[in-house]
Structure 1
Amino acid sequence: MHSEKVQTLPKLKSLNKRKKIGIIGGTFNPIHNGHLFIADQVRSQLGLEKVYFMPDFIPPHVDHKDAIDADDRVNMVNLAINDNDKFDIEMLEIINRGKSYTYNTMVELKRRHPDYEYYFIIGGDMVEYLPKWYRVDDLFKLTHFVGVRRENYPMSTNYPVIWVDVAKLDISSTLIRKLVSNHQSIRYLVPDAVLKYIKEHHLYE
């Protein structure tokens, strides 16, 4: 009697497993250690496979004259995340140019990566502005929103925001630009590679 070897197909569940991917958007003018710390904490707490830093070309809510050239901002992001294989960069808004609206971006990302389950990371101070975001109700169908708790900002919202606690690092891009323009040190506020890039290219002076 011959026994015939039967090959079993993999379970459908394993084929349909979605990857949990974080997105942290911003002008990154410049990227600093606060951005990196928040991204790492959210990734760890929510069990995300990866966090993508997504620089915008022209943010809809910021005066674009205040932002340096997109190429320099992208270069600094790449330098900042180079040593962490859990971080990557998403270039869609830079490639598309023009003003960056999160809804349009997420529609395209979901089209390209239907197996990704996205978690869009924002500061607690931004949560209260969600009602003003372009097509925000449709946006919540495309991604989970993760709010990083901030002191003095309420956690009340009508939207299903996932809240996370992250230790406060009082660092901002505005502070860094101000320190550089005043010829003061920004060491330990940004990664060493970013500090070197800012100095070599005479940014923010």
Structure 2
Amino acid sequence: MSRRELALFGTSADPPTEGHRALLLGLAQRYGQVAAWASDNPFKQHGAPLELRAQLLGTLIDSLGTPQIELAQELSSPKAIETLERATKRWPDLEPVFVVGGDLAGQIPSWYRAKDLLQRCRLTVVPRQGQPMAANALERLGELGAQVELLELPVPATASSAIRDGLESSSIPEALWPVLLKHNLYGLTSKIAR
């Protein structure tokens, strides 16, 4: 019998969207155990501090009512290899599967110790609707020794950047509104007051 799998999903969660919600639920159906955390992606600018993004992600996870999905904020590190090392210490009996959105697949070869990371865990890439993957991204990952699974999930085409830029707010999960308004994140309080 093969080891049970643990999906490892770090996200900027800046803020979490209905897309994050759908992705987490889809991962729980596919892998059974999901550990998620808010991360500081060194390739991105963030609209809220990490502590608040972790609180938002935790609120979203709690609202799902799915015990096999947990916030594991202690896994958060700007270096994915450190996250993997922390996860394998915490869950030594589970096979780690690193999960990224298709928009990040092209960045992975430039990550710190990417080859080491990819040889120590499986990689699942979930394509994002409306966001093409970088040309040859999967081939480059294969050259680094990655075992890549492409996982098509029914994830709506949402973007945290559209919320941060004030272009839309309909993709914000209902459970997050109290936290967003309490901390006046992303200028949403002023939009509601109009």
TM-score where L is the length of structure 1:
0.76
Which has the larger share of helix?
2
State yes or no: 1:177 paired with 2:159. Answer: no
Verify: 1:136 aligned to 2:81, yes or no: no
- The answer as to whether partners of 1:27 and 1:67 remain within 8 angstroms in 2 is no
Aligned position for 1:194: 176
Conserved? CA contact 1:60–1:100, under 8 Å: yes
How far off its partner does 1:131 sit? Answer: 1.5
Indicate the SS of the match to 1:141.
helix
Give 5+ residue unaligned stretches, structure 2. Answer: 188-194
Structure 1 residue runs of 4+, over 3 Å off?
none
Deviation at 1:129, TM superposition (A): 2.1
Q: After superposition, what is the alpha-carbon deviation per residue over 1:47-78, rounded to whole angstroms, capped at 9, x for unaligned?
A: x122111112x322123xx3312221121111
Q: CA RMSD in A?
A: 2.2
- Look at both structures and tell me which one has the larger radius of gyration over its CA atoms: 1
Contact 1:103 / 1:136 at 8 angstroms: preserved in 2?
yes
Hey, what's the Cα distance between the residues in 2 that align with 1:54 and 1:78? Answer: 8
Structure-1 residue corresponding to 2:72: 90
Match of residue 166 from structure 1: 153
2:36 maps to amino acid: F
8 Å Cα contact 1:22/1:118 also seen in 2 = yes
* Maintained 8 Å contact 1:146/1:164: yes
Deviations 1:13-66 (A, max 9, x none): 6xxx6331111112111111101212222332x3x122111112x322123xx3
Change (3 A) 1:112 1:152: closer
Instruction: Give the residue type in structure 2 aligned to 1:26.
Output: T
Q: Distance in 2 between matches of 1:144 and 1:106?
A: 11
Structure 1 unaligned blocks of 5 or more: 1-12
Count of residue correspondences = 176
C-alpha distance in 1 between matches for 2:8 and 2:78: 14
* Cα offset, 1:160, TM superposition: 2.1
CA distance in 2, matches of 1:53, 1:204: 22
Are the equivalent residues in 1 in contact too, given 2:28–2:69 (CA < 8 A)? no
Q: Name the structure 1 match of 2:13.
A: 28
- Residue 79 of structure 1 aligns with an amino acid whose one-letter code is T
Deviations 1:83-103 (A, max 9, x none): 222311111245xxxx61001
Q: What's the counterpart of residue 190 of structure 2?
A: none
The one-letter code matched in structure 1 to 2:124 is: V
Percent sequence identity over matched residues? 20
